[in-house]
Amino acid sequence: MTTTIIDGKAFAEKVRGRVAGFVAGLKERGITPGLAVVLVGEDPASQVYVRNKGKQTLEVGMNSHGHKLPADTSEADLLALINQLNADPAIHGILVQLPLPGHLNSDLVINSIDPAKDVDGFHISNVGLLGTGQKAMVPCTPLGCLMMLRDHLGSLAGLNAVVVGRSNIVGKPMAQLLLGDNCTVTIAHSRTKDLAEVCRRADILVAAVGRPEMIPGDWVKPGATVIDVGINRVPAPDKGEGKTRLVGDVHYESAAAVAGAITPVPGGVGPMTIACLLANTLIACHRANGLPEPEGLTA
C-alpha cells in the first residue's frame, strides 16, 4: 500500500491563492480586508508567528495592522486597544497572540474582542455557536484540518473519527467540525482507557495531545487518514550537541507504513493555520459588508 503524504504547505498555498482572488474582487468594490494582530511582550516564538502572519496578510492583498505592546502592559490598556479595534470599520479581524504575560487574564481579553472580528474563533460566543451548529468564526487549526480531510477524502459522512486531545483550541472544535460533517466522533485523551484500541478503530485519526511521538504506527488502522497537529521540539543528538528537531504527536515513520494518508511534521497542519486565519479575515469582511460568503473557505 502506498501512503499519501498530505502536503499542507502546497494546500495552504492554494488556499492563500483563493483568498487573494477574493480580496482582489473586494478591492474592485473599494473594500480592503484589514487584520489587526496584537502582540504583548517579547516571546520569541510569538514574534516569529506574528511576523509570518503580517507578511502573509500583505501578500494576499489585505491590510496588516501590527500592535506590539510591552510585557508590562496593563489589562486596562490592552482592553482599551481592543475596544478601539472593535470600533474601527477598517479592521475586520482581530487576533491577540497567545500566550499572554501571566498578569493578564487571557479569557477576559479574548472575550472582549467583537465575536464578528474574532478570527481565532476563541470567543465564548463563537465556541457556543460552533457547538450548536450555527454560523461561527471557526478556530484556524481545526478548520485547516477539516479542509485537508475534505480535499483528500471527499465526503466524511459515516466515517469513524477519533480526536486525541481535548483542548479548547484544537481538540474540542475539531470534534464539533467532524460531527458537522457527519462523522461518528470519539474524543480521547491521555487518560482514555485502552487508548491504543480506541485509535485503531479510527478511519480518521487526529492527534492533538501535545506529546512527542505518543502515537505509534501499531495504533493506526491500516488505510486510515492521520492528521498530526502536534509540533514538539525534541533533542537531535545526530545533528550535534544541543540541536533539536520538530516531531509530531504521531511516530511518523511507523504510522506512515500503515496509514492511507498522513500529514508530516513540519509541513502538514502548521502552514494551514495562517492560511485559515486569512480565510477567516476574508469571511469576516464579507459578513461585515453584507456580501455572500466565499465558497470552499468555511466549515
Could you tell me if residue 85 is inside a domain? yes
What are the tens digits of pLDDT across the range 182-196? Answer: 999 999 998 999 999
What CATH number does residue 68 fall under? 3.40.50.10860
Q: What is the average per-residue pLDDT within 103-122?
A: 98
**Concatenated DSSP letters of 94-155:** EEEPSSPPTTS-HHHHHTTS-GGGBTT--SHHHHHHHHTT------HHHHHHHHHHHHHHS-
In whole angstroms, what separates CA 245 from the centre of its chain? 21
Could you list the residue range(s) of the whole structural domain that residue 209 is in?
A: 140-269
How high is the pLDDT of residue 49? 86
Say how many Å lie between the first and final Cα of the chain, rounded. 31
Task: Please indicate, yes or no, whether residues 247 and 281 belong to a single structural domain of this protein.
Answer: no
Count structural domains, the chain.
2
Q: What is the mean pLDDT of residues 156-161?
A: 98
Q: Which has the closest alpha carbon to 262: 1, 14, 3, 13?
A: 3
pLDDT of residue 243: 87
Using a pLDDT cut of 90, give the percent of the chain over it: 91
> Does any domain span residue 87?
yes
Residue 261 and residue 147 share a domain: yes
| Per-residue pLDDT, 236 | 84
Mean pLDDT of 146-165: 98
Same domain, residue pair 128 and 188: no
Residue 108 and residue 179 in one domain:
no
**Band of the pLDDT at 58, cuts 50, 70, 90?**
very high
Are 107 and 145 found together in one domain?
no
Mean pLDDT of 195-200: 98
List, by residue number, the catalytic residues: 53, 97, 120
Q: What is the band of 1 on the pLDDT scale with cuts at 50, 70, 90?
A: low
Instruction: Report yes or no: 251 and 216 within 8 Å, Cβ to Cβ.
Output: yes
Q: What are phi and psi of 207, to 5 degrees?
A: -100, 115
Q: Quick one: 145 and 260 in the same domain? A: yes
Let me know the angle formed at the C-alpha of 262 by 256 and 263, rounded to the nearest 5 degrees.
125
Exposure of 145 in the CB half-sphere (CA atoms within 13 A): 30
Mean pLDDT of 134-138: 95
Average pLDDT of 84-104? 97
pLDDT at 44 over 90: no
Residues 276 and 131 in one domain: yes
Q: What is the mean pLDDT of the segment spanning 264-279?
A: 96
Q: Are residues 48 and 161 in the same domain?
A: no
The answer to whether residue 16 sits within a structural domain is no
DSSP structural state of residue 187: E
**Residues 98, 182: one domain?**
no
Provide the grid cell at 140: 484556524
151, 43: one domain: no
Task: State mean pLDDT over 96-107.
Answer: 96
pTM: 0.95
260 in the same domain as 170 = yes
Confidence at 92, pLDDT banded by 50, 70, 90: very high
Q: What percentage of the chain exceeds 70 in pLDDT? A: 100
Q: Which helix (H) or strand (E) holds 200?
A: helix 195-200
Query: DSSP letter string over 231-289?
Result: -EEEE-GGG-TT-EEEE-SB-HHHHHTT-SEE--SSSSSHHHHHHHHHHHHHHHHHHHT
Mean pLDDT of the region 112-137: 97
* Domain of residue 183, CATH code: 3.40.50.720
Contact 295, 281 (CB under 8 A): no
Mean pLDDT, the chain, rounded, equals 96
| Structural contact between residues 117 and 91, judged by C-beta atoms closer than 8 angstroms | yes
Q: What is the pLDDT of residue 272?
A: 96
- What's the pLDDT at 299? 87
Indicate whether 45 pLDDT > 90: no
* pLDDT, position 242: 80
